[in-house]
């Protein structure tokens, strides 16, 4: 049978297991005497091995097999692992992940795992009771690997029918049958588990035999009540003829190619646009035939439901990206000789898959910075009477239609004075500025190429990273905020729309053009002239409930030409709010509030950096979407 | 020639039922046993093609009877009859040499399937 159709499923599931493996290794590293992690790691590696063998990925299965040997030994010994053993397992997990990735692209042989395999083998004390496991010591590591492969048993996995009674007894019969074909090793779970009533009917073992895989399968099926048999290759063997892992999927979830969801989203987008047109036409014709109104309403309702379902289908919990960070933070900390306790909160918060995928890199940047520049070395922390172990918290929180993701450390904070000096030297701020607010600080830090290591020791490199992070967030319609206090730490807060594809927006008119402002950041609207006027840093501003809100006149900003009709006497002000910052956008008129479909937008050179995309209005005319982050 | 069967169970009801199921399918029940000791004795005398063996019987239990029978005839084809909740005992019986098992309440089709498997 063609196994390639299962490659993606194999990849996704293997990655999940390896991610779990990393989590458990971290836990084990923190509490080496705890017995739980090793069983979980063993199970994860074992599962990967089984799947890889089924797919015919001999090298992946072999590497997993060797890890499993070591884990099995550690599990049995019950002793806390030595640090070098843990580090070896970390490396092995990484390599296994790489091997999995290469295997599905058909490049399994690109990765040389012989040295690692030998290292794993060496870490397992030789057991005299299983002479076959010990390779002749005179051989080199690579030769030992090569020599051990042909002799290695086939991995056999059997699943008993779920409805079968006494699955454990049935599994025992499977083992007996296998023993009639050859030598059986490493039965998982061990046969004692068959005696438990709750045994769920999956058994795996290795079978040393000359019998062909197809015959092994046929023989084991004669045992009865066998749902599935998979016979893996022994090293270089070809594909297993068995049914695939996919066959056992009784889960109520299916995996869907993300591109499918994107296409669906695009189609829904067009439907929403068409719905808009239909509503406009219906409004004109309702006098002739009232039924058109009913049908328009029905189409509206159905498309709205469809849309919310499809958006829901795109929602992905943030842990899918966050789960790799504990390992990252640990690695960076270790490398830099820092002690860091890393905590993740709000793992279950969901974001549009497209946003989440884009978020990984910026977060990696910020986390690296937090470890590298935020957290002080243990000695320095002690001198300042701080816990030598620094804290970094990555937290996701849902705030109405946005998700806020914060990265907070309890490190040294950013040295504002140094940044200020540097900013003055470079003319980023005027010479009379005495202190930088958090906002100004961020603007300075985010200037491309602003910081250099020698000038801003406390935050070396941070500026460059922030620049990249800010650009990415802008593209996603998000924003970033910084809070920092000397000696106490630094926090970055990223705010993102929950979904990219469809947003509710305010449609405003300026001259003859229409512009869309996503409601995500609209706080309120007021009428120009009804609130007290003032100025702020030389800009017009209004006073709104004792707060000064600087104004941006879109007519002036966009250079609306004289051909446009004169502005009405009382112009509306749309107040945008992004974190602590506010800004009032002065427009000519407000037309409607509606859902718009966000289309990507490649701004021509020289375009003002205030547009985040474009949309098609109900009448088919395009309108630009204003980027709140660029206006506030 | 039809296959010969020895039915071992301490309950007459169960023996009758098994006998009926097997007889209707064309098997010849050549003997019955109420205890493990009887089962071992009758196996030696009758050399049946198949034995159905209850697990819990007075005097000598079914598992010990399997051990005894297999000791003398490693090829003996023994089908265990068990109730739900006896997984550990069935596993033990299989390790002792039983070839398959059926679970009460008996469904004729499942009993016959198991018999076919055991007789190969």
The confidence score (pLDDT) of residue A565 equals 67
CB-CB under 8 Å, A168 with B87: yes
Domain containing residue A522: CATH number: 2.40.50.180
Considering only the beta carbons, identify the residue of A166, A176, A223 that sits closest to B87.
A166
CB-CB under 8 Å, A172 with B117: no
CB-CB under 8 Å, A172 with B91: yes
pLDDT per position as a tens digit, A316-353: 889 888 888 898 898 889 888 899 999 999 988 888 88
The confidence score (pLDDT) of residue A280 equals 82
Q: Does A376 share its domain with A236?
A: no
CB-CB under 8 Å, A172 with B103: no
Instruction: Please determine, for residue A408, whether its predicted confidence score (pLDDT) is greater than 70.
Output: yes
Query: How many residue pairs from chains A and B have C-beta atoms closer than 8 A?
Result: 47
**C-alpha closest to that of A147 among A124, A114, A110, A116:** A114
- Check: pTM over 0.80? Answer yes or no: no
**Rounded average pLDDT over A172-192:** 87
End residue of a domain, out of A450, A477, A497: A497
* Residue A252 belongs to some domain of the structure: no
The confidence score (pLDDT) of residue A207 equals 87
* Sequence-distant (≥ 6) Cβ neighbours of residue A99 within 8 angstroms: A57, A59, A60, A63, A108, A111, A113
Q: Does A442 share its domain with A541?
A: no
**C-alpha closest to that of A450 among A27, A256, A436:** A436
Answer whether A565's CB lies under 8 Å from A511's CB.
yes
The confidence score (pLDDT) of residue A382 equals 94
Q: Does A87 or A473 have the greater pLDDT score?
A: A87
CA distance A232 to A56: 7
CB-CB under 8 Å, A169 with B113: no
Considering only the beta carbons, identify the residue of B84, B91, B103 that sits closest to A194.
B91
Confidence grade of residue A258 (pLDDT, cut at 50, 70, 90):
confident
* Sequence-distant (≥ 6) Cβ neighbours of residue A123 within 8 angstroms: A70, A85, A88
Range with lowest mean pLDDT among A62-76, A160-174, A600-614, B3-17: A600-614
> Is residue A135 classed as helix, strand or coil in its secondary structure?
coil
**C-alpha closest to that of A62 among A186, A152, A184, A140:** A152
pLDDT per position as a tens digit, B63-104: 999 999 999 999 999 999 987 777 888 999 999 999 999 987
Is residue B113 packed enough to be buried (19+ CB in 10 Å), middle (13-18) or exposed (0-12)?
middle
CB-CB under 8 Å, B87 with A169: yes
CB-CB under 8 Å, B100 with A224: yes
Instruction: Please determine, for residue A397, whether its predicted confidence score (pLDDT) is greater than 50.
Output: yes
The confidence score (pLDDT) of residue A533 equals 79
Instruction: Please determine, for residue A129, whether its predicted confidence score (pLDDT) is greater than 80.
Output: no
What DSSP line would sit under A495-560, residue for residue? EEES-SSEEEEEEEEETTEEEEEEGGGEEEEEETTSS-EEEETTEEEEEETTEEEEEEEHHHHHT-
**Rounded average pLDDT over A452-457:** 40
Q: Does A293 share its domain with A336?
A: no
The confidence score (pLDDT) of residue A234 equals 52
Confidence grade of residue A83 (pLDDT, cut at 50, 70, 90):
confident
**C-alpha closest to that of B19 among B8, B7, B11:** B7
Domain containing residue A414: CATH number: 3.30.565.10
pLDDT per position as a tens digit, A192-248: 888 887 788 888 888 888 888 888 988 998 888 898 888 876 533 333 333 333 333
Considering only the beta carbons, identify the residue of B90, B95, B117 that sits closest to A166.
B90
Domain containing residue A116: CATH number: 1.20.120.160
Q: Does A158 share its domain with A266?
A: no
Looking at mean pLDDT, say which of A29-33, A139-143, A391-395, A420-424 comes out highest: A391-395
Residues 43-82 of B with CB under 8 A from A: 82
Confidence grade of residue A429 (pLDDT, cut at 50, 70, 90):
confident
* Residue A251 belongs to some domain of the structure: no
Confidence grade of residue A448 (pLDDT, cut at 50, 70, 90):
low
Q: Does A348 share its domain with A296?
A: no
Considering only the beta carbons, identify the residue of A197, A222, A224 that sits closest to B87.
A197
Smallest Cα distance from A197 to chain B, Å: 6
Q: Does A454 share its domain with A344?
A: yes
Confidence grade of residue A125 (pLDDT, cut at 50, 70, 90):
confident
* Sequence-distant (≥ 6) Cβ neighbours of residue A63 within 8 angstroms: A92, A95, A96, A99, A113, A116, A117, A120
Confidence grade of residue A128 (pLDDT, cut at 50, 70, 90):
very low
What DSSP line would sit under B22-44, residue for residue? HHHTT-EEEEEESSHHHHHHHHH
Confidence grade of residue A253 (pLDDT, cut at 50, 70, 90):
low
**Cis amide prior to A398 (ω within 30 degrees):** no
Q: Does A524 share its domain with A393?
A: no
Considering only the beta carbons, identify the residue of A165, A169, A222 that sits closest to B91.
A169
Considering only the beta carbons, identify the residue of A166, A194, A224 that sits closest to B82.
A166
Other C-beta atoms closer than 10 Å to the C-beta of A241 total 16
End residue of a domain, out of A246, A275, A302: A246
Instruction: Please determine, for residue A459, whether its predicted confidence score (pLDDT) is greater than 80.
Output: no
A154's torsion region: left (phi>0), alpha (psi -120 to 50) or beta?
beta
Looking at mean pLDDT, say which of A129-133, A203-207, A578-582, A595-599 comes out highest: A203-207
Range with lowest mean pLDDT among A76-80, A114-118, A422-426, A452-456: A452-456
**Where do runs of H (alpha helix) occur along A426-484?**
438-445, 462-475
Residues 118-177 of A with CB under 8 A from B: 165-166, 168-169, 172-173, 176
The helix or strand, by DSSP H or E, that contains position A219, with its residue range, turns out to be helix A213-221
CA distance A620 to A623: 9
% of chain A at pLDDT higher than 70:
84
CB-CB under 8 Å, B113 with A166: no
Q: Quickly tell me which residue has 């005027």 as its tokens.
A: A430
Q: Does A16 or A602 have the greater pLDDT score?
A: A16
Which own/partner pairs from A607-610 qualify as long-range (CB within 8 Å, at least 24 positions apart)? A608/A557, A608/A558, A610/A557
Start-to-end CA distance of chain B, whole Å, equals 16
**Rounded average pLDDT over A426-431:** 74
End residue of a domain, out of A458, A476, A497: A497
| B88 touching chain A per CB within 8 A | yes
CA distance A630 to A609: 6
| B103 touching chain A per CB within 8 A | yes
CA distance A184 to A158: 13
Q: What domains does chain B contain, in order, with CATH numbers? A: 4-119 (3.40.50.2300)
Residues of B in contact with A168 (CB under 8 A): 87-88, 90-91
Domain containing residue A284: CATH number: 1.10.287
Start-to-end CA distance of chain A, whole Å, equals 59
% of chain A at pLDDT higher than 90:
14
The ipTM estimated for the assembled molecules is 0.86
Instruction: Please determine, for residue A620, whether its predicted confidence score (pLDDT) is greater than 60.
Output: yes
CB-CB under 8 Å, B91 with A168: yes
* Residue A253 belongs to some domain of the structure: no
A413's torsion region: left (phi>0), alpha (psi -120 to 50) or beta?
left
Sign of CA pseudo-dihedral A51, A111, A104, A154: negative
pLDDT per position as a tens digit, A351-374: 888 888 888 888 988 998 899 889
| A191 touching chain B per CB within 8 A | yes
CA distance A417 to A434: 9
CA distance A210 to A231: 13
* Residue A263 belongs to some domain of the structure: yes
Q: Quickly tell me which residue has 């690296």 as its tokens.
A: A368
| A184 touching chain B per CB within 8 A | no
Range with lowest mean pLDDT among A159-173, A446-460, A562-576: A446-460
Looking at mean pLDDT, say which of A48-62, A169-183, A598-612 comes out highest: A169-183
CB-CB under 8 Å, B103 with A173: no
Answer whether A35's CB lies under 8 Å from A79's CB.
no
Q: Does A186 or A501 have the greater pLDDT score?
A: A186
CB-CB under 8 Å, B95 with A165: no
Q: Does A511 share its domain with A479?
A: no
Instruction: Please determine, for residue A451, whether its predicted confidence score (pLDDT) is greater than 70.
Output: no
**Rounded average pLDDT over A255-281:** 80
Residue A156 pairs in a beta bridge with A205, A231
Domain containing residue A175: CATH number: 3.30.70.1110
Instruction: Please determine, for residue A146, whether its predicted confidence score (pLDDT) is greater than 50.
Output: no
CB-CB under 8 Å, B114 with A224: yes
Q: Does A422 share its domain with A563?
A: no
Confidence grade of residue A115 (pLDDT, cut at 50, 70, 90):
confident
The confidence score (pLDDT) of residue B66 equals 96
Give the Å distances, CA to CA, from B24 to B5, B27, B28, B82, B109: 13, 7, 9, 22, 12
> Is residue A3 classed as helix, strand or coil in its secondary structure?
coil
Answer whether A390's CB lies under 8 Å from A407's CB.
no
Range with lowest mean pLDDT among A420-429, B9-18, B22-31, B100-109: A420-429
| A180 touching chain B per CB within 8 A | no
The confidence score (pLDDT) of residue A142 equals 36
pLDDT per position as a tens digit, A548-567: 889 888 888 888 765 666 66
pLDDT per position as a tens digit, A521-536: 888 888 877 777 788 7
pLDDT per position as a tens digit, A300-316: 888 878 877 887 888 88
**Rounded average pLDDT over A171-175:** 92
Q: Does A124 share its domain with A214?
A: no
Smallest Cα distance from B100 to chain A, Å: 7
**C-alpha closest to that of B92 among B59, B53, B118:** B53
CA distance A460 to A154: 54
Is residue A468 packed enough to be buried (19+ CB in 10 Å), middle (13-18) or exposed (0-12)?
middle
The confidence score (pLDDT) of residue A149 equals 37
Residues 201-240 of A with CB under 8 A from B: 222-224
The helix or strand, by DSSP H or E, that contains position A187, with its residue range, turns out to be strand A183-188
The helix or strand, by DSSP H or E, that contains position A220, with its residue range, turns out to be helix A213-221
Q: Quickly tell me which residue has 């000038």 as its tokens.
A: A455
The confidence score (pLDDT) of residue A233 equals 62
- Summary mean pLDDT of chain A: 79
Instruction: Please determine, for residue A512, whether its predicted confidence score (pLDDT) is greater than 90.
Output: no
Domain membership of residue A179 as a residue range: 154-246
Q: Does A347 share its domain with A486?
A: yes
Return phi, psi of residue A289, to 5°. Answer: -145, 105
| A522 touching chain B per CB within 8 A | no
* Residue A207 belongs to some domain of the structure: yes
Considering its fold, how many domains does chain A have in total? 5
Answer whether A418's CB lies under 8 Å from A458's CB.
yes
Residues of A in contact with B100 (CB under 8 A): 173, 224
CA distance A455 to B19: 96
Considering only the beta carbons, identify the residue of B82, B85, B94 that sits closest to A197.
B85
Q: What is the number of residues in chain A?
A: 632
The confidence score (pLDDT) of residue A449 equals 61
**Rounded average pLDDT over A234-263:** 52
Q: Does A9 share its domain with A90?
A: yes
**Where do runs of H (alpha helix) occur along B1-120?**
12-24, 36-46, 62-72, 87-96, 108-119
Q: Quickly tell me which residue has 């140094």 as its tokens.
A: A418
């Amino acid at each position: 049978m063609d196994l390639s159709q299962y490659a993606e499923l194999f990849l996704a599931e293997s990655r999940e297991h390896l991610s779990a493996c990393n989590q458990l290794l971290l836990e084990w590293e923190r509490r080496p005497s705890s017995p739980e992690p090793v069983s979980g790691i063993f199970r994860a590696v074992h599962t990967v091995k089984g799947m890889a063998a089924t797919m015919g990925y001999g090298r992946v299965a072999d590497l997993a097999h060797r890890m499993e040997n070591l884990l099995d030994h550690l599990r049995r010994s019950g002793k806390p692992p030595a640090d070098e053993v843990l580090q070896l397992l970390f490396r092995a997990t990484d390599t296994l992940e790489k091997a999995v990735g290469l295997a599905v692209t058909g490049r399994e042989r690109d990765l040389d795992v012989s040295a690692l395999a030998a290292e794993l083998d060496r870490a397992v004390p030789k057991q005299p009771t299983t002479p076959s496991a010990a390779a002749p010591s005179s051989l080199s590591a690579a030769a030992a690997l090569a020599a051990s492969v042909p002799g290695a048993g086939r991995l056999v996995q059997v699943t008993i029918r779920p409805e079968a009674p006494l699955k454990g007894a049935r599994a025992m019969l499977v083992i007996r049958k296998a023993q009639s074909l050859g030598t059986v090793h490493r039965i998982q779970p061990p046969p004692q588990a068959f005696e438990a009533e709750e045994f769920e009917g999956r058994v795996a073992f290795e079978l040393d035999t000359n019998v062909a895989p197809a015959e092994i399968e046929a023989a084991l099926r004669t045992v009865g009540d066998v749902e599935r048999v998979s016979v893996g290759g022994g090293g270089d063997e070809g594909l297993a003829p068995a049914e695939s892992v996919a066959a056992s999927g009784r889960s109520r979830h299916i995996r869907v190619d993300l591109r499918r969801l994107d296409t669906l989203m695009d189609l829904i987008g067009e439907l929403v646009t068409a719905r808009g047109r239909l509503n406009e036409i219906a409004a004109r014709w309702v006098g002739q035939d009232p039924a058109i109104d009913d049908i328009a309403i029905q189409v509206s309702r159905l498309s709205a439901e469809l849309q919310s379902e499809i958006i829901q289908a795109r929602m992905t919990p943030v842990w899918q990206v966050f789960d790799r960070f504990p390992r990252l933070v640990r690695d960076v900390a270790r490398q830099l000789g820092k002690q860091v306790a890393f905590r993740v909160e709000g793992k279950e918060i969901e974001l549009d898959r497209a946003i989440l995928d884009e978020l990984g890199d910026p977060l990696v940047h910020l986390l690296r910075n937090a470890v590298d520049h935020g957290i002080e070395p243990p000695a320095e922390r002690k001198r300042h009477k701080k816990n030598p172990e620094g804290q970094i918290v990555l937290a996701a929180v849902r705030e109405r239609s946005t998700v806020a993701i914060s990265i907070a450390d309890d490190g040294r904070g950013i040295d504002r004075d140094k940044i200020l000096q540097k900013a003055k030297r470079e003319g980023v701020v005027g010479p009379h500025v005495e202190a930088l607010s958090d906002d100004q600080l961020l603007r300075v830090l985010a200037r491309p190429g602003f910081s250099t290591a020698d000038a801003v020791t406390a935050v070396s490199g941070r500026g460059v990273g922030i620049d990249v992070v800010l650009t990415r967030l802008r593209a996603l319609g998000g924003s970033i905020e910084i809070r920092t206090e000397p000696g106490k730490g630094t926090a970055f807060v990223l705010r993102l729309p929950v979904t990219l594809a469809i947003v509710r927006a305010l449609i405003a008119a300026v001259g003859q053009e229409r512009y869309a402002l996503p409601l995500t950041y609209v706080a309120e609207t007021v009428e120009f002239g009804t609130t007290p006027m003032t100025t702020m840093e030389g800009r017009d501003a209004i006073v709104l409930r004792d707060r000064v809100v600087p104004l941006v006149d879109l007519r002036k900003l966009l250079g609306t030409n004289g051909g446009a009709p004169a502005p009405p006497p009382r112009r509306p002000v749309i107040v945008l709010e992004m974190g602590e910052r506010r800004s009032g956008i002065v427009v000519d008129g407000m037309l409607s509030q509606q859902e718009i479909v966000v289309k990507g937008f490649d701004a021509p050179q020289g375009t003002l950096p205030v547009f985040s995309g474009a949309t098609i209005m109900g009448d088919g005319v395009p309108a630009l979407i204003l980027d709140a982050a660029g206006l506030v | 020639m039809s296959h010969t069967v020895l039915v071992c169970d301490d309950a007459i009801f169960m023996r009758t039922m098994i006998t009926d199921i097997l007889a209707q399918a064309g098997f010849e029940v050549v003997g019955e046993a109420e205890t493990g000791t009887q089962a071992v004795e009758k196996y030696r005398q009758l050399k049946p093609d198949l034995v159905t063996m209850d697990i819990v019987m007075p005097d000598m239990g079914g598992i010990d009877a399997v051990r005894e029978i297999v000791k003398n005839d490693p090829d003996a084809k023994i089908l265990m009859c068990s109730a739900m909740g006896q997984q550990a005992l069935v596993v033990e019986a299989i390790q002792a040499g039983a070839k398959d098992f059926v679970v009460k309440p008996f469904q004729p089709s499942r009993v016959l399937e198991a018999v076919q498997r055991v007789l190969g």
